[in-house]
């Protein structure tokens, strides 16, 4: 009995060590160098890869994700007083997306799927910032995909990790826009 308890404790410790070592597929890069620039408009486009995927998601899913991304970014920018009428244009692109659960569109195409299924999700977003006078202010790329199934995965919604990626992207965008330039 003690051996079983020790083996189980060893498994639990190794699981904790692994989860702390690598929690997500995360990448970030930026060339934005425009501190405290105000944003006047936000547009969202989708990459060809996202647009051409016909099995996993449909137009309804894409529109929902575009609205969610705009809402998350707008909310963060407004909280930081970075929205303005005569400001820059923020052009966002959904480069890659992955749902945590089968979408309604996917379940209609694959009859054997069940909504109870869940997996790893996330998103990659690119941003291009253009000043009011059409000057290029830089680009930003943010990628977040979950690396393991979290404890809450059983209750995760269809686009849970994609929404998490949008929130993390919005937070990082605000951080970059409010950063003081290096001297």
Q: Where do the domains of the chain lie?
A: 24-178
Average pLDDT value for the chain: 83
Predicted confidence at residue 29, as pLDDT, reads 87
> Left (φ > 0), alpha (ψ -120 to 50) or beta: where does 138 sit?
left
Give the other-Cβ count within 10 Å of 6's Cβ.
10
28 vs 179, higher pLDDT:
28
45 vs 85: CA distance, rounded Å: 22
Phi, psi (deg, nearest 5) at residue 140: -145, 140
User: Residue 65: which of 39, 99, 26, 42 has the closest Cα?
Assistant: 99
- The model's confidence at residue 7, banded by pLDDT at 50, 70 and 90, is very low
pTM beyond 0.75, yes or no? yes
170 vs 98: CA distance, rounded Å: 18
CATH 3.20.20 fits 24-178, yes or no: no
- The model's confidence at residue 87, banded by pLDDT at 50, 70 and 90, is confident
């Amino acid at each position: 009995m003690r051996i079983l308890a020790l083996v189980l404790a060893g498994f639990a410790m190794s699981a904790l060590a692994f989860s702390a070592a690598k929690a997500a597929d995360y990448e970030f890069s930026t060339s934005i160098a425009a501190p405290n620039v105000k944003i006047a408009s936000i547009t969202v486009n989708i990459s060809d890869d996202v647009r051409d995927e016909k099995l996993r998601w449909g137009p309804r899913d894409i529109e929902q994700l575009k609205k969610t991304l705009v809402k998350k970014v707008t909310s963060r920018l407004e909280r930081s007083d970075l929205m303005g009428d005569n400001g820059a244009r923020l052009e966002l692109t959904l480069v890659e997306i992955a749902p945590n659960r089968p979408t309604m569109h996917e379940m209609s195409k694959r009859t054997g799927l069940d909504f109870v299924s869940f997996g790893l999700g996330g998103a990659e977003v690119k941003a291009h910032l253009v000043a009011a006078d059409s000057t290029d202010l830089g680009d930003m790329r943010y990628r977040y995909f979950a690396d393991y199934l979290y404890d809450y995965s059983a209750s995760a919604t269809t686009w849970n990790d994609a929404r998490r990626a949008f929130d993390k992207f919005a937070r990082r965008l605000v951080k970059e826009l409010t950063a003081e330039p290096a001297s």
